[in-house]
Structure 1
Amino acid sequence: MSGRPQLICCDVDGTLLDDRERIPADVRAVIRRAVSAGAQFALATGRPPRWIAPVLEQLDLYPICVCANGAIVYDSATDTMLDVAALAPDTLCQVVEIATRGLAPFGGASFAVERSGDSAWADESELFLVSPDYVPAWVSEGHATAPLAQLCSHPAIKLLIRNEQLTSAQIFDVLAPLIPGELAHTTFSIPDGLVEVSAPGVTKARGVAYIAASIGVAAADVVAFGDMPNDCDMLRWAGFGVAMANAVPEVQEAADSVTRSNNDSGVAAVLERWF
């Protein structure tokens, strides 16, 4: 990248946030300087829109963001879903069948779906539904429990496949060869026995490209930060892709640069080259 980036896209967990789910002071400061200098900032996260307000409140910024691994482009200032790419009910049923069969030798699978809704502030029970045997990988109290047939009855931005006996990478290695790319896109963003399935072609790169096009910014003028496999496509697409020091090897290979330290100062150290 020869000049200053015009668009900064940053993953949240493991990248922007520290272990206390706080944005370090030096990271907040440099992002604010970048925005004051005319750069655009966006989150690019696996989180759905209902989970990003506490992050943006720390920055006092409410931009257009990539959510749910690229399935949603969300205007946080107006609470508007600008673009939604969902898995159709018949596709959900097919993937559930494939995952159930594929993971049967390893203790089976449980499932959850994330739906877009019309607002990030809709009732959680309308947006996040889990099968009776599903154990959430994070604290979740307001979700709804429903039979698999109901989970698959409406379009979903993500299908979550859970197996507590395997790591996420192990689940991915089992299922990725079984789920054709033309049927759905499979990835993972945490290590704890969970993979995420989206519509074909849905990645963070898709969402970032949507934002860049909407504000007239070329890929060459985008800097992106990430640490997990769901960030790889975005890091490759951006003019300057940055992997965190704690990133898994495949993410580091996808990036143009790797930070010397983790989220507590890695993002700031890179952005301070320009701002």
Structure 2
Amino acid sequence: MPQLIATDLDGTILFDRKVPPADLDAMRRWRAAGNLLVVDTGKSVFATRDTLEPEGVAFDYAVAFTGAVLADGDYRVLTSRFLPDGLAHEIVMSLQGIDGLTVFATTLETDYIISDTYHEVSPILQVFVPMTPEEMSGHRFIGVPMRVRDDDVRERIVADLAGRWGEWIEVVRNQEFLDVVPAGATKGAGLNDLVAWLTRPDGPHPGESVETWTFGDSWNDIPMHEAADHAVALPWSPPEVAAVCERTAASMAELVDSLLEPRGHATEEGR
């Protein structure tokens, strides 16, 4: 039975755009042992590549855009879902004039920045192309990420977006970001979609049972954890995240070491 680790990026294996060497080695050992490594992230495919390639991170599959897109280890898109035509523009226009907010819009190929009141770059999303709301016409958008630090402003935005377009969107929190993605898209739904894709009759693992482990620290990881056979949080995860996990691990290296340890030995240690 194949084993699969699905890992979040920022705050989990990625810190100020760097991957700790021990974690990088652990992920290589995990794959060398015949297991699957999946990155399950709110980032776009473009941002995932921009972040991970310089760090030498190789993986088997990516669940990107908070579950709206599946890609392989070469960043080739396997499946994708988009916001309804014109909706990203409507959402962007509804956010104009709000102070303390940076608004992005993402296509399959590019992360665009639409407006910025912080005038600084977040380490979570650093590479983007300027775009005006008027230039959004003719593009198909998967999501509208926004950086918003103030909790009250964040809550008002979530309530407003859900009240207006709740039938067509999900609004997911990740640290100081909110990600607006197509309805039904979550990290958990993306993980389920990937397992179904892997085990379909003509898939890479037809008819097999895939044992899934998830590793993530933030609120948008909760659906991913809930979809997994085994969910692991980080010691600094918010209580709501830790509550849906069976345990914590301080690093990817610690998690991989515990899973690659012979099960019999682990059982004896646990007695």
Using structure 2 for the length normalisation, give the TM-score.
Answer: 0.78
- Cα-to-partner distance string for 1:198-238 (whole Å, 9 max, x where unaligned): 11111111221222122227887100111111111101111
Query: SS at the partner of 1:273?
Result: helix
Q: How far apart, CA to CA, are the structure 2 residues paired with 1:205 and 1:31?
A: 21
- After superposing on structure 2, the runs of 4+ consecutive aligned residues of structure 1 that deviate more than 6 Å are 139-142, 217-220
Q: How far apart, CA to CA, are the structure 2 residues paired with 1:179 and 1:133?
A: 19
- Cα-to-partner distance string for 1:164-192 (whole Å, 9 max, x where unaligned): xx43x44431122222332211112232x
Q: Which residue number corresponds to residue 211 of structure 1?
A: 194
Q: How far apart, CA to CA, are the structure 1 residues paired with 2:121 and 2:172?
A: 16
Q: How far apart, CA to CA, are the structure 2 residues paired with 1:202 and 1:219?
A: 23
Q: Which residue number corresponds to residue 120 of structure 1?
A: none
Asked whether 1:146 is paired with 2:131, we answer yes
Q: How far apart, CA to CA, are the structure 1 residues paired with 2:48 and 2:113?
A: 21
Q: How far apart, CA to CA, are the structure 1 residues paired with 2:99 and 2:29?
A: 50
**Any residues of structure 2 matched to 1:188-227 within 5 Å, and which?**
188-191=173-176, 194-216=177-199, 221-227=211-217
Q: How far apart, CA to CA, are the structure 2 residues paired with 1:228 and 1:141?
A: 20
Q: Call closer, same or farther: CA 1:152–1:177 in 2, change over 3 Å.
A: farther
Q: How far apart, CA to CA, are the structure 2 residues paired with 1:155 and 1:246?
A: 36
Q: Which residue number corresponds to residue 242 of structure 1?
A: 232
Aligned residue identity for 2:80: V
Asked whether 1:33 is paired with 2:29, we answer yes
Q: Call closer, same or farther: CA 1:232–1:5 in 2, change over 3 Å.
A: farther
**Any residues of structure 2 matched to 1:151-162 within 5 Å, and which?**
151=136, 153-162=138-147
Q: Call closer, same or farther: CA 1:257–1:142 in 2, change over 3 Å.
A: closer
Please, which runs of 5 or more residues in structure 2 have no aligned partner? Answer: 200-204, 261-271
CA contact (8 A) 2:38 2:62 kept: yes
Q: How many residues are aligned here?
A: 247
Q: How far apart, CA to CA, are the structure 1 residues paired with 2:31 and 2:102?
A: 42
Q: Call closer, same or farther: CA 1:268–1:177 in 2, change over 3 Å.
A: same
Cα deviation, residue 108, structure 1: 7.0
**Any residues of structure 2 matched to 1:166-185 within 5 Å, and which?**
166-167=149-150, 169-180=151-162, 181-185=166-170
Asked whether 1:91 is paired with 2:64, we answer no
Asked whether 1:24 is paired with 2:20, we answer yes
Cα deviation, residue 111, structure 1: 2.4
Aligned residue identity for 1:107: D
Q: Which residue number corresponds to residue 44 of structure 2?
A: 48
CA contact (8 A) 1:209 1:219 kept: no
Please, which runs of 5 or more residues in structure 1 have no aligned partner? Answer: 118-126
- Which region of structure 1 is more displaced relative to structure 2, 63-72 or 4-13? 4-13
Asked whether 1:113 is paired with 2:95, we answer no
Using structure 1 for the length normalisation, give the TM-score.
Answer: 0.77
